[in-house]
Amino acid sequence: MTGIDSLIPRGTPSALGAAPGVTEDAGAYAATGGYREVIGADELLDRIDGGLRGRGGAGYPTAAKLRAVRDAGPRPVVVANGEEGEPGSVKDRWLLRARPHLVLDGLARAAEITGAERGYVYVSDTAAGERIRRALAERTPRLPCDVVDTPHTYVAGEETAVVRRINGGPALPTAKPPRPFEQGVGGAPTFVANVETLARIALIAAQPDRRRLTARATLVTLAGGGAEPLLAEVPYGGTLRTLARAQGTPEPAGALMGGLFGGLIGPDRLDLALDPDTLAAAGTALGCGAIRFLAPDECPVSLVSAALAHLAAESTRQCGICVAGTGSIRDAVGALTNGTADPGLLTRLQRWSTSLPGRGACGLLDAAAGTAGSLLRAFPHLVRAHLDAPCPGCAAPADSGRLTVPVPYVARRTVPRPRSAASPR
């Protein structure tokens, strides 16, 4: 991975921090304004209400979620969700490794808003877990906090799976309702938040007058196109084409958006602005901020085949409709890649893409159906060409490993602490 870059305007509070290449300790974090009591919990909630959305994928308004937990009942719980199921995303693991105190600060402030007296950090990444435990040992936390490890799977970060794992069960989704804000960890109302969401809560608390800039910046994992991946912090509003050039893919043939959740877009959509509402109106999504660009000579059918192979392998096999549906979609697109598709295949894919979403316990089946549907919409001429003759670009078997992005290396801090650093409380 080439590394980390900031494309946000000067003066914007940054989730990347002053020294992205090393883990930030408690003293360095405090020296830059962390853990300070600038505003109270009620005012902070009002500032968050100015536009901060969750960064885990769904983009739900953070203030509404905080209020729901606060108002749901006594003894709520707060959870930092650091399990990144999307293979193309690395931002959460990087934050936990490089800026653990920023995440813990945001978790403590979420607890103050909701009235929670206990918190959890939920991780599957060994290095991230070690850094968080070290950060908790560096200073006495305002919030009693446990670190809960989980095996890494695509669905382990789904919020009901998070609650189930913390409660001692497997990291598998459960039927809804109840939602975690109603009944979560130990039966208490529970605020489950993506770690970048918590990081931005802490940034708003430290610099409340710049809350809009903080809410309208986001971390993105950019990959594909034959170039090295890039983790970057960017403002809403720039185009996808600009991001592709920054990553090293100047003329992409399209992009796979939101990890495996936002589907494919063609080259005619690369001038869309990076903004959740704009992307949603165009039929795609920012999701967790993972964007994989297509190289000019890369076959999108092959890429979708790899994505569907990954999703089918990650099915928890709890829902019969998911097992059958995801497997059928995988096999159908696989037939396109190897030249064995029959004429009725496109009709079946179209039907599945509209009839299957919403029928599983989690979003895995939705991702499979949506990705297949987006292929039909974005590249109909290429799909039809695959019915007529085998595609040379699809000759290799579907390899889901091509979707995986490595986490940028983060060293343990060895530079001297600034003289002005405040002592950890």
In the chain, what are the domain boundaries?
A: 20-214, 216-293, 300-403
pLDDT at 318: 81
User: How far is Cα 368 from Cα 261, in angstroms, rounded to an integer?
Assistant: 8
- Closest by CA to 274, choosing from 235, 248, 245, 244, is 235
DSSP code for 343: T
Half-sphere exposure of 263 (CA within 13 A, CB side): 25
d(CA 212, CA 208): 9
CATH domain 216-293 topology = Ubiquitin-like (UB roll) (3.10.20)
And the tokens for 2?
């080439």
- Yes or no: say if 6 and 191 are a contact pair by the CB < 8 Å rule: no
CATH class of 20-214: alpha beta
Give the architecture (CATH level 2) of 300-403: Up-down Bundle (1.20)
What is the pLDDT at residue 323?
87
Q: What's the confidence (pLDDT) of residue 400?
A: 63
Beta bridge partners of 231: 4, 221
Supply 356's token pair. 């299957």
d(CA 85, CA 287): 12
Task: Tally helices (H) and strands (E) across the chain.
Answer: 16, 10
- What is the predicted pLDDT for the residue at 18? 87
Distance CA(364)–CA(326), nearest Å, equals 8
Please give the structure tokens belonging to residue 274: 């990076």
Torsion of CA 378, 275, 238, 304, to 10 degrees: -30
d(CA 369, CA 197): 27
Gap between the Cα atoms of 348 and 387, Å rounded: 14
For the entire predicted model, the pTM comes to 0.93
Cα separation of 40 and 22, whole Å? 31
pLDDT computed for residue 95 by the predictor = 97
Sign for the CA dihedral angle at 292, 196, 145, 17 comes to positive
Q: How would you list the strands of the sheet with 118-123, edge to edge? A: 145-149, 118-123, 77-81, 190-194
Would you mind telling me the total number of residues written for the chain in this entry?
A: 425
- Asked whether the domain spanning 300-403 has the same topology as the one spanning 216-293, the reply is no
CA quadruple 224, 171, 219, 367: dihedral positive or negative?
positive
How does pLDDT run along the chain (425 residues), one tens digit per residue? 667 888 888 888 999 998 888 999 999 999 989 999 999 999 999 999 978 998 988 888 999 999 999 999 899 999 999 999 899 999 999 999 999 999 999 999 999 999 999 999 999 999 999 999 999 999 888 899 999 999 999 899 999 999 999 999 999 998 888 999 999 999 999 999 999 999 999 999 999 999 999 999 999 999 998 899 999 999 999 999 999 999 999 999 999 999 888 999 999 999 999 999 999 999 999 999 999 999 998 999 999 999 999 999 888 888 888 888 889 999 999 999 988 888 889 999 999 998 988 887 788 889 999 999 999 999 999 999 998 888 887 866 666 678 999 999 899 865 444 444 433 33
